[in-house]
Structure 1
Amino acid sequence: MNKTTIVKKVLFVMCFFVLIQTQNIKAQIVIGAPNIGFSQACANASFNNFNVTFVFSPETALSPTNQFNIELSDADGSFSSPTVVFTSNAGSVTTSPATLSFSLPTNTAGESYRLRIKSTAPVATSSGSPTFAAYYKIQDSPFSINNLISTASYCAGGSYLLTIDNPGTGMNDSPLNYPTLTFKWYKETGPTTSVFVADGESLLVNTPGTYFVETNYGTCTSDSFSNRVTVTEATSGSTTSINSSLGNPFCPSGGPTILATTLGNSYQWFLNGEAISGATNQTYETTLSGTYSVSIDLGSCVTSASIDLESEMFISSLNIEDENSMEFGDTLYVVVSTSAENPEFQWYLNDVIIVGANEDSYDATEYGNYKVTISQTTGCIVSDELLFEIIEPIDPFPNVDNIPNLISPNGDGINDTWIIPNQYVSGTNTEVIIMNSYGKVVFNTTDYQNNWPENAIDFKSVNPVYYYVITTQDNKTKKGSITIVK
């Protein structure tokens, strides 16, 4: 082989090597540390989108197949096992700076996460971003502890256990349904301040105070917190309180309100001082207003609680009596007075709607049983009804032919009193004397109103018998007996 040939081969190898090196240099890029623009990433089901911006150079070094990945460190900021939270489409990012969006995994929870950017063609990795707090709030709504009670008590020297309800009452979304969550308990120190007490799903309290628990989302604000419970130390004879689920006053149209008191070993509820039969649970349902109290056995002491429960019912009344007499052809003007807001009215006769009777007054012209319903249409939607009756006037001196010897004063409106002929009643100056079976005068008048007996008759084993003597103004006499039956 001559020298010329050798030299040509050497030059070819050198040129090939230089070309390869040039291609390698061209295929390298540098990616700057990502700019996150936030100090914390707080995500939930309705919001989980965050932006990151980065620069890279040179733009010409990118392969058409290149993809950029956003990698999320672990909660301590380590990239030893990163999570890819976003991957761009091949060749979609070609200019610098670039902005990409990512979402947090649902198990994200920590204060020291970092992000970094990686490219695939050519392969390059940025340095990590500054640390930031990141949480995915998988449960982000209020929840209950101890069945939403507001107060609790323990005997002196004892303790009280506060626990997160699972599932709890109503629409309560218990955070215990999400095993990855942790919790922090707090004690209030002021109207808007509190101090951390302990971690965990429950808290054993032996110091009086107001306590609550929050789902641990670190520095991210959240609506995942419990009701407040004021815990007191009790001794025998001390008092605590009762909570009404519908508030106080409460709206009866929302159904019964649930009265709840502190947890104890046994209970007895009272209404207006009278024990309520069978009311021996921690809660009591009612739709009635009144003063409710409960005796609570806490084990080594007994305490009590009370509440003056009021409903948001309105007050209504009529301008007439419950029973009214009216001459045939007359009219009774009836007016409703009510404290209801925006009231609506409906009148009835013998349980049949009176068409067109929708005002707060009504001219009644017929005998029968009337009813008016009053409905409050603003605020608490409730209704009430008032009843009254119109009857024919009762003649106290009906024209009877004979003096009866039997009456039945049982309140049924029939033969309740001793009705005698008009020639012996009021205005005739006739003396009427009634004696018992022993001859003792029990009634004596010269102005008889057909109203004996005025008082209840004491029935024993037999129907009592009375005797009467009627003496007219011209000294004519009638005598006889009166048997009383039930």
Structure 2
Amino acid sequence: MKSTPNFIAILTLLLCLTGTFVRSQVLNPPTPADNPNLPGNSAWTAACASADFNEYFVNFTWSPPLVQANNEFILELSDANGDFGSPRELARAADKNTEFDFEFRFTLATDIQGDGYRFRVRSTSPELTSDPSAAYSMYFIGYNDPILISQDASGVIPPGGVLEVCDGSGITLETHNVPNADTYSYSWYRSGTLLAETSNALNVTQSGMYFVEIDYGVNCSGSANTLSNTIEVSFGSSQGISINPPTTNTLCATEMVTLEANISGMGYLYTWFNGGTIVSGPTADASTYTVDGSVSGFEGEYSVRIEGPGICAEQSDSVSIGAAGDYTVTRVNEPNLVLLPGRNETLTASTTAASPTFQWFRDGTAISGETAASLTVDTPGTYYAEITETGGPCTLPAKSTEETLVVLPTDLELSIDYVGTYSDCAASETTLTVLQINAVDPNNNRIDVTATLRNDFTYQWAKDGIAIPGLTSDQLVLNSVDDNGFYTLEGVLESFTATSNPLSVRLAPESNLTIEATGLQVCEGVSVSLSTSTDLTGMDFAWRKDGVELSSAESTLTTDEIGTYQLAISADGCPILSNEVVISNFDASGIAIDLGDSIVIPSGSSEIATATGANSYEWYDAANTLLSNTESVTLSEEGNYTLVAAVGSCSFTLPFSVSFRDSFEVPNVITANGDGINDLWIIPNTFSRNNDITVIIYNEQGEEVLNEVGYQNNWPASSTAFTKRNQIFYYKIRNAQETLRQGTITVIR
């Protein structure tokens, strides 16, 4: 019983050392707060954010003791069902560690949509989490304009907002003006009754008045102003509307035909269509429509639509009405023909008429006796054929072919051009060709006769004014720098000789001009040299940096400036550019040792360190002894080391250290009996002889018997007196911020 006070003292000391008596912090659930930036505002009850407003606050309180200096408070949000399985971070505060009552500001992400969101606050040091808050409606209103709905999202709103549907067939109403429509939930209504559908499309099978709005919850939906237009859907029975077969489907210009609906006398409204165009109605009981063949454009596809009380609006299939005996005429020959001396040309007309007659005209006057499908001409003028259908059911007006211009030229002109895109010194091949041949008439008018006369000319190509033997086609292929020069083409036809415009050709010479550099990085005192294996003697050349010509006239360029370099030479009148070489500043950031710069190895073993990011490596110990000149080195001794890594002529020095890993824990028993075995309290190297570590030892009464920075593994001293055989001491090992180890030491004597 006499040891009871000592036991209590020991227990009290241990509890104090371990912090058992320290009360832990309490984090309270956050609650909505008013917005200090909105005058007269009160705490929010639901968050209805949008692009125009998105700023909210919650109040957070917590109770002491103080948190650690490096603590952060983090405001987190659950999912829409209140689940924190994957919480969303809204805000964090690192400067509120001495404030027990403060507010978080947060905004809503665009995908926040729901009524069950909860908040909580988490601290990082110590690691604590508050209870969840109450549930709140929170919506980001991404769309806040009136919705437009239509059948199948066609964008066509029916006249009067009424859709009439036949025979109970369902239709689909769908939004057509909401971007990313499938990202929202919707509330559909039929005559004011909320329906179960929540997508942006609704299958309608009952009559009623339909509208929709985006569901932003009870608190936010109304303010979003998304209520759509209303469409009244009416279901009725089909009458089977059709058009009775007409007496004829083709009309002459003097004929008419009456189309008749199969339903009449019911008081319905009738609308008649030719294709998509209304030609009559809607008119009550107008069950017939007369098509007049004398009206231009009467041909087409006719249909009728009926509507009325108790029936659905429906439209018939179409009936085709066309012109009887219609035919086409076509000019077969070229539109422009040239009469050369001693030659004639043939004009031809074609027609689909069953029994045609032909009459040819020159300059608007009928040519006597020329009533065949073809006409041979030897006189200039403007010609066409007039064709009349003499058979068939109708008397039809005559039709004329397109005109043909026949000229007797005073001159022929020839022009040439490149085939495709061409630029001097950009291509290694090009083709020249006849572009156009013009006939010049006595009035100096030019008529394009390329298609007619191209193959009738005799051609001769010339380079720099000298004819090239053997090159006599209408095209010329050039594919060598030896072909560079000015080209013309001469064409001869009968008594006419035409010389073309000249074209310049400068093809790019083949080149393998390349440059090389002694390095790609420069650093202080280190430059690089650029050179080429091409002999530049007698050549016009220039070095370029970033596209700008340099003043250097040397075949080798030495530089310590970063940039993109090229060599340009001139050959056959064309500039030739070498490859680009990019010179950059020496960057040591990529040089690294795979084990880091503080390497820890087990005592008595070794580790292989490997460097990357350079071209060559040298490893040195503290005595400057070279250990390796490869990318790797074997390390087995503690100490300071140096890696010298080089890229080209630039080098980088990286110091690092090697220490032994502690292989034992802090001991809790020593035998201070002077036998030289376990007489001293030896702690791991991590903590001993370290000027950043303080070791404190207490006796059973809580009195310090040692307080030492950089502990030397030398306690207890030989002169230390112990009051009992098995005496207990207490220790703490600390750095500047925290206690690293603590416990008891039993000294056995």
Larger radius of gyration: 2
TM-score (norm 1): 0.43
TM-score (norm 2): 0.29
Instruction: Give the structure, 1 or 2, with the largest relative contact order (CA under 8 Å, sep 6 or more).
Output: 1
Q: Which has the higher strand share?
A: 2
